[in-house]
């Protein structure tokens, strides 16, 4: 299947969801060709490289948080983590988050995709959803799409208590917030909480996405300690401390071959 052609979307507005999460709403004429119902799908934000004579671009990956129809037309929301660590990855002080801070209504941004959604298996007996702030948009959609009688846990690492969001979820899904002011530096923060959770009877569906080092710890726990196979586990690293998205992509591919 051919990849969708990139399209230019227009900035409609932006707002801070929490102190470290900035939401940019996109729409305009270019969204007419964007496929329907893309909440939790990923897109590529495409940025030109200033002064590059070969017309190369930077691509940064983000999740569609909301996709809705309004009286003014269709809109999608993209959430950007603002807690920077000096690296140039998709959510931590790189070109995408800098663009989000500086963009204004009427600006255009080139978008590639959407790519496929990665959701929990709704037929599972219970659910465990794990991630840091970069995964919070996808986590939110996962929680919203769970069956009303779903049970389980969501473990979410955030930079501060002020970054807690009021998430829509089934009554019997418990949210555990993990406060880590320095994402990526204390890689044990998220895995340590996950390892202490009670393991419920029945077939689980586990979804996890976070920083690379924490992801490897979680993967080892789920595979070796809990015996999960590919059918019951989706796990991915969204970024790595100190690396940009391009370099992270390289080590992510190497890790996938070795795993």
pLDDT of residue 133: 96
Q: Which domains does the chain possess?
A: 7-114 (2.40.30.10), 118-258 (3.40.50.80)
User: What is the pLDDT, as a whole number, of residue 88?
Assistant: 40
**CA atoms of 238 and 54, how far apart (whole Å):** 28
Q: Which residues contact 23 (CB under 8 A, 6 or more apart)?
A: 14, 15, 16, 17, 65, 77, 78, 79, 80
Token pair listed for 28: 């305009």
Strand partners, 9: 109
Residue 132 · residue 190 · CB < 8 Å: yes
Backbone angles phi, psi at 84, to 5 degrees: -85, 150
Per-residue pLDDT of the chain (259 residues), as tens digits, is 567 789 999 999 999 999 999 999 999 999 999 999 999 999 999 998 877 766 788 999 999 999 999 998 999 999 999 865 434 444 455 899 999 999 999 999 999 999 999 999 999 999 999 999 999 999 999 999 999 999 999 999 999 999 999 999 999 999 999 999 998 889 999 999 999 999 999 999 999 999 999 999 999 999 999 999 999 999 999 999 999 999 999 999 998 888 7
Q: Give every strand in the sheet of 233-239, ordered side by side.
A: 172-179, 151-158, 126-131, 204-211, 233-239
Q: Enumerate the β-bridge partners of residue 75.
A: 68
Token reading at 141: 């959609």
């Amino acid at each position: 299947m051919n990849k969708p052609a990139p399209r230019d979307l227009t900035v409609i507005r932006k707002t801070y969801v929490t102190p470290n999460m900035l939401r940019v709403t996109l729409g305009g004429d270019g969204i007419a060709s964007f496929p329907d119902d893309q909440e939790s799908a990923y897109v590529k934000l495409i940025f030109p490289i200033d002064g590059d004579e070969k017309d190369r671009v930077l691509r940064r990956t983000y999740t569609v948080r909301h996709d809705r129809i309004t009286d003014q037309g269709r809109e999608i929301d993209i959430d950007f983590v603002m807690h920077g660590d000096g690296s140039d990855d998709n959510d931590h002080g790189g070109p995408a988050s800098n663009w989000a801070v500086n963009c204004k209504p009427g600006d255009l941004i080139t978008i590639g995709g959407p790519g496929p959604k990665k959701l929990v298996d709704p037929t599972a007996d219970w659910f465990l959803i794990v991630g840091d702030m970069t995964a919070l948009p996808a986590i939110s959609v996962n929680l919203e799409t769970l069956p009303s009688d779903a049970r389980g846990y969501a473990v979410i690492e955030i930079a501060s208590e002020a970054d807690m969001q009021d998430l829509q979820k089934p009554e019997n899904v418990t949210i555990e917030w993990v406060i880590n002011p320095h994402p990526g530096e204390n890689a044990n923060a998220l895995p340590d909480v996950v390892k202490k959770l009670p393991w419920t009877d029945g077939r689980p569906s586990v979804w996890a996405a976070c920083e690379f080092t924490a992801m490897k710890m979680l993967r080892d726990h789920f595979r070796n300690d809990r015996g999960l196979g590919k059918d019951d586990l989706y796990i991915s690293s969204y970024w790595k401390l100190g690396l940009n998205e391009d370099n992270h992509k390289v080590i992510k591919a190497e890790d996938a071959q070795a795993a």
